Amino acid sequence: MSELVIHQVDGDALAADWQLVHNAVIPTDPLSLEQVRERSGRYHLEVAHLGDAAIGCSTVRPPTEEEPVAMVISRVLPAHRRRGHGRTLYLRGLARARAFGAPIETVVLASNTEGLQFAAAQGFTEVERYLLDGDTVPYVALRLTAG
């Protein structure tokens, strides 16, 4: 069995792997490779591999004046869930986000029931639901209130 290996997105190959996982887990908001490159300049992006296969990705957004919270998002392809990979990605992101000294939030697509259960198990509680323009499935914003 392959060991989980996590890399910071640096270069097009890792950006493409991050994009593959993101777009599979968030099909309502697919990102282009150019958008992933741009995000990797603003946010801390990581991609998780088992062997040669990308199976997860994460994003840590620092707080800003407009958004005074640190955002931690971990995504794992459905076939690789419930094996601790999401928790590994999440804990790495949480450590980075805590260094900002700001409240910590995450966001999960409402149709991702496993993701919502995972967030609740980590101590997050729902603060709002919202739709992006043209979407029909809402996002759920959650704030870390325990842990």
Domain boundaries, given as residue ranges, for the chain: 4-144
C-alpha 117/C-alpha 58 separation (Å) is 17
* pLDDT at residue 36 greater than cutoff 80: yes
| Rounded alpha-carbon distances, angstroms, from residue 4 to 7, 56, 65, 146 | 10, 10, 35, 27
Q: What angle do CA 97, 146, 64 make, to 5 degrees?
A: 30
**For the segment 97-134, what is each residue's pLDDT rounded down to a tens digit?**
999 999 999 999 898 888 899 999 999 999 999 988 88
- Thinking of the domain 4-144, which architecture would CATH place it in? 3-Layer(aba) Sandwich (3.40)
Please give the mean pLDDT across all residues of the chain.
Answer: 93
pTM: 0.90
Nearest to 85 by CA among 129, 41, 53, 37: 53
